[in-house]
Structure 1
Amino acid sequence: MPEAIIETTGLTKSFKGFRAVNDISLQVLPGTIHAMIGPNGAGKTTCFNLLTKFLRPTSGRILFKGRDITALKPDQIARQGLVRSFQISAVFGQLSVLDNVMLALQRQRGESFDFWGSLRRLDTQKARAEELLHDVGLGAELDTPAAQLPYGRKRALELATTLALDPEVMLLDEPLAGMGTEDVSRTADLIRRVAKGRTVLMVEHNLGVVAELCDRITVLARGEVLVEGDYATVSKDPRVIESYIGGAAHE
């Protein structure tokens, strides 16, 4: 078995005595699509925030490619190739679809924004931005203001801006939330395509998509790991049926 690209040991986060995440040990293998699922309040987004350093753990360690990143800041994590999306689409509505991706490509260069860069460099970035937008199905909407895109297309744009940072690991926080059936199918296919050559860790409620896309699944309940394995394994576990399916029925 290859060495985990993301590994946590004893990861715990408490808020005024309440343990939102309790003693989570997680291993995400390189080149896989790994899902975290569970009912609302299970600790999934808190775990994401810990991994990407938007929250500091109360205790425990986080390793990325064998290096301890527990004390690093969010921007330092992103520069190492660990990049996340959010539940709410985060695009610049007043900018065009193309300009959103161009801005992300410039951000990849660190603090050097190319307002006065050479035409060759800008042409290269534009070509790359157009390529990314074609990959996510937005090639015909380059000049459209991002605010005018339907919700599902905004999520596709957000995925393009994430890809512009050339991440080694993508953390997708409920990438299909709020989508209609057609957008769910299109976005699931997109995730499958962009995952080639990358590692994806995703939080997702859509079990059909998880079953189709994911190599491994971690089920959380009340801030702890309930069970882990492939879909065939976790879907038959009585604890998952009781905690996840039962919990979802009462939401």
Structure 2
Amino acid sequence: MSFILETQGLSRSFNGFHAVSNVNLAVREGSIHALIGPNGAGKTTCFNLLTRFIDATAGCIRYQGQDITRTPADAVARMGLVRSFQISAVFGQLSVFENVRLALQRRRGHSMDWWRSDRALAAFDERTHALLAEAGLAEWSSHLAGELPYGRKRALELATTLALAPKVLLLDEPMAGMGAEDIAHAAEMIRQAARGRTVLMVEHNLSVVADLCDRITVLARGEVLAEGDYATVSKDPRVVEAYLGHGHAGQRQHNDHTAVANGEASHG
């Protein structure tokens, strides 16, 4: 497999604070790749750099072999590098169906076609229904998006993101705030979404990471601490220390190591 998204020496400083420092990342096409690390490790900043919401202080980003380090964010999105956000972002006064159909309309070009008749927009209906079914939202189709329970709202966000037909789907903490049932459903949706595309996700829930991801990059203090499959990184003493802190010894250290390996240390 080839690498679809790569960085070399990617760095970002804010008034002397190194939020991301010399990050080398290589995401294989068709894989599910996770960025994990304690709170404040630089994960979301890294996402913002990759999707060009902020400029890099140093380093380069390549997408499908093309240097996009200075490419505008909207152009990057149109190239198929599409992301979700931690904060809920739906049109609350539109129905669930209308939210997804609106995202599908975006693929026509620069216009949202607000003036087009319902008959003309019916061409998007079949795909809209399919995405809603995939997201487990078919029965919520006519509800206002703003009235959805939190877990369903996050599912709607993922459905609208998939409507943009991304080649690389970047998910920023897609399970944040979800209950166990919603997490299981969202994980399966991501697994299905990964068929035919690449997924790069920031996620605190290590059980989800262990179950879903082919490869994991661990960040700490803005730098790459470790990389590999879950079995490898979960046994790395540096990863255990980064998540659980200094000063552990004896049986406590053993217990902490086991917690990371089992995906129980969900927050740093």
Residue matched to 1:225 = 224
1:148 shift after superposition: 0.7
Residue matched to 2:142 = 143
AA aligned to 1:140 is E
Residue matched to 2:4 = 5
Q: Which moved more, 1:119-128 or 1:16-25?
A: 119-128
1:117 shift after superposition: 4.0
What TM-score does the superposition give when structure 2 sets the normalisation length?
0.90
Specify every segment of 5 or more residues in structure 2 that has no aligned partner in the other structure, as ranges.
247-264
1:102 shift after superposition: 1.2
Residue correspondence of structure 1 range 203-218 to structure 2 within 5 A: 203-218=202-217
Residue matched to 2:81 = 82
Residue matched to 2:183 = 184
How large is the Cα RMSD of the aligned pairs?
1.6
Residue matched to 2:40 = 41
Q: Deviations over 1:34-86 (max 9, x none)?
A: 00000011000000000001110001000000000001111101100000000
Identity of aligned residues (%): 65
Paired residues of 2:204 and 2:266 also in contact (CA < 8 A): no
Residue matched to 2:166 = 167
1:106 shift after superposition: 1.2
AA aligned to 2:41 is A
Residue correspondence of structure 1 range 192-211 to structure 2 within 5 A: 192-211=191-210
1:204 shift after superposition: 0.3
Paired residues of 2:11 and 2:21 also in contact (CA < 8 A): yes
1:246 shift after superposition: 3.2
1:131 shift after superposition: 1.1
Secondary structure of 1:77's partner?
Answer: helix
CA distance in 2, matches of 1:149, 1:249: 26
Paired residues of 2:205 and 2:267 also in contact (CA < 8 A): no
CA distance in 2, matches of 1:64, 1:201: 13
Kindly tell me: are residues 52 and 249 of structure 1, through their superposed partners in 2, closer, same or farther at Cα, counting changes over 3 Å? closer
Residue matched to 2:21 = 22
Residue matched to 2:237 = 238
Residue correspondence of structure 1 range 31-180 to structure 2 within 5 A: 31-117=30-116, 121-180=120-179
CA distance in 2, matches of 1:82, 1:96: 26
CA distance in 2, matches of 1:250, 1:188: 18
> How many residues get paired?
250
Specify every segment of 5 or more residues in structure 1 that has no aligned partner in the other structure, as ranges.
none
1:122 shift after superposition: 1.5
CA distance in 1, matches of 2:229, 2:267: 25
Residue matched to 2:254 = none
Kindly tell me: are residues 7 and 125 of structure 1, through their superposed partners in 2, closer, same or farther at Cα, counting changes over 3 Å? same
What TM-score does the superposition give when structure 1 sets the normalisation length?
0.96
Secondary structure of 2:138's partner?
Answer: coil
1:119 shift after superposition: 6.1
CA distance in 2, matches of 1:137, 1:8: 35
1:116 shift after superposition: 4.3
Secondary structure of 1:140's partner?
Answer: helix
Secondary structure of 1:5's partner?
Answer: strand
